[in-house]
Amino acid sequence: MRLSRYFLPVLKETPAEAQIVSHRLMLRAGMIRQASAGIYSWLPLGYRVLRNIERIVHEEQARAGHIPVLMPTLQSADLWRQSGRYDAYGPEMLRIRDRHDRDMLYGPTNEEMITEIVAAYVNSYRSLPLTLYHIQWKFRDEMRPRFGVMRGREFLMKDGYNFDLSKEAALHAYNRHLVSYLRTYERMGLQAIPMRADSGPIGGDYTHEFLVLAETGESEVFYDSEVTDLTFGDRDIDYDDWDQCQGVLEEFTSRYARTDETHDEAVFDKVPEARRRSARGIEVGQIFYFGTAYSESLGAFVQNEAGERVPLHMGSHGIGVSRLAGAIIEASHDDRGIIWPEAVTPFQVGLVNLRQGDSATDAACHGIELALEKRGLSVLYDDREERAGAKFATMDLIGLPWRITVGPRGLEKNVVELTSRRTGESEEMSAEAAIDRVAGIYGLAP
Ligand code: 5CA
């Protein structure tokens, strides 16, 4: 993609309304535009990041055996009357009336709707276990939408729902989600710590939130510092194996780690003092087991092996997809701008032409652009007639992890410069070597 033809409305000034760094950088890098309070348009650069986050979520859900669907954003109030949540949900629910005076709502979550679907089609234990999920926009009329996409009113969520024959099977689904979430966040370059939490309007008392530690986080958390030493890494987990998934749960949740809602000073005091931490965190996901409440109220029953009609055991599991774009920036930036992890970067490599209009330099850049694309890499080529300093500032702001810089002086010696956004280190090498190096970093075949 050539920057001269792209739509990248970067801002020079720091927007006054943005209080935290990720919000400032998302506005300055032209990723989002506020449409109204807590509601955002995703501009091209931001949209590419959002799609990358979604792709990782889908890949990890597939690995765990969960099945994607897509449910609508608008729901009928009647479904929510059946579960008893229509009145209970309160002013956070956006209520809408259609032309026939039917009560509708913009879904804040989908337990009712997915349970109705499963109730309609699933009759036998032989169809279980079953986990369905979607990535869809939600609306919660938050009292204080703030920090950009971090606490929006409209936001993108991955929400998944497991249906199982027994509590034991549903707890396996819970553990499986915990494992797959650990993998999902780590792939995005984040350490998200599962912490014991409060279940809020979803219900049930078995729940963990996943928190990314950050000073600007909205949640107050308390934990044993040993939890920050844990990494999931590239373990080969069999998601069908009860013991393996349970083992991961125990490893990652046996130490003290709680949000303020469930914090207990007396229990915390038992953690050796040198390891006690209180900090702030960004909640990037939450998993729940809540039993049979929704299946009983919405009629999701199956025949078990003994021929008895029993309600399904359920849980729901959410990832804050749009919030993650902000959380990743909170975790990875410097004073010049964003530093994207390779896994979610909007373009894999930036290409800077230091002498736009010089025919030899233009031709060399064009050749490199084509060669990178041929290798399957996404490239943002800054072909504007701008000073080098302005081009570097834009590249640093938008945070592409790798930059290839091409100028007439280098070309005389047959070299270009390859620069890491993270370390700031540059190396001179031939264009071919730079292309090979970048392709190798992204795991593309030579
Ligand atoms: N039905 C369950 C799980 S599917 C549920 O709704 N869970 S939740 O309320 O915890 O939301 C899941 C995730 O969505 C949260 O962990 C958070 O990362 C994200 N989220 C929640 N509210 C907002 C918001 N106002 N703005 C951005 N992201 C949000």
For 357-401, write each residue's pLDDT tens digit: 999 999 999 999 999 999 999 999 999 999 999 999 999 999 999
Stretch 289-299: mean pLDDT, rounded?
96
- Amino acid sitting at position 430: S
For 116-136, write each residue's pLDDT tens digit: 999 999 999 999 999 999 999
Stretch 208-230: mean pLDDT, rounded?
96
B/e letters for 295-331, b = 16+ CB within 10 Å, e = fewer, are: bebbebbbeeeeeeeebbbbbbbbbbbbbbbbbbbbb
Mean pLDDT score of the chain: 96
In the reported structure, the alpha carbon of residue 321 is separated from the centroid of ligand 1 by a whole-number distance in angstroms of: 9
378 DSSP assignment: -
Which among 323, 324, 328, 330 is the best mutation to test ligand 1's pocket, defined by most ligand atoms within 8 Å of the CB? 323
* Domains recognised in the chain with CATH numbers: 8-337 (3.30.930.10), 347-441 (3.40.50.800)
In the reported structure, the alpha carbon of residue 97 is separated from the centroid of ligand 1 by a whole-number distance in angstroms of: 25
Whose C-alpha lies nearest to ligand 1, atom 29? 320
- Residue 16 pLDDT > 90: no
The gap between the terminal CA atoms of the chain, to the nearest Å, is 22
In the reported structure, the alpha carbon of residue 102 is separated from the centroid of ligand 1 by a whole-number distance in angstroms of: 27
Band (pLDDT 50/70/90 cuts) for residue 17 is confident
- Which runs of consecutive H residues, i.e. helices, occur in 130-263? 167-187, 242-253
* Binding pocket residue ranges, ligand 1, CB within 6 Å: 109, 111, 140, 142, 151-152, 155, 157, 159, 202, 283-286, 316-318, 320, 322-323
Give pTM, 2 decimals.
0.97
- Residue 446 pLDDT > 80: no
Residue 190 CB neighbour total at 10 angstroms: 22
Q: Considering only CA atoms, which of 367, 385, 430, 427 is closest in space to residue 403?
A: 427
| Token representation of residue 311 | 């309600």
Query: Are the CB atoms for 162 and 65 separated by under 8 Å?
Result: no
| Token representation of residue 194 | 């599962």
How far is 310 from 80, CA to CA, in rounded Å?
A: 22
In the reported structure, the alpha carbon of residue 190 is separated from the centroid of ligand 1 by a whole-number distance in angstroms of: 17
User: What is the DSSP secondary-structure string of 15-70?
Assistant: PTT--SHHHHHHHHTT-EEEEETTEEEE-HHHHHHHHHHHHHHHHHHHHTT-EE--
Band (pLDDT 50/70/90 cuts) for residue 201 is confident
Pairing state of beta strands 379-382 and 219-224? unpaired
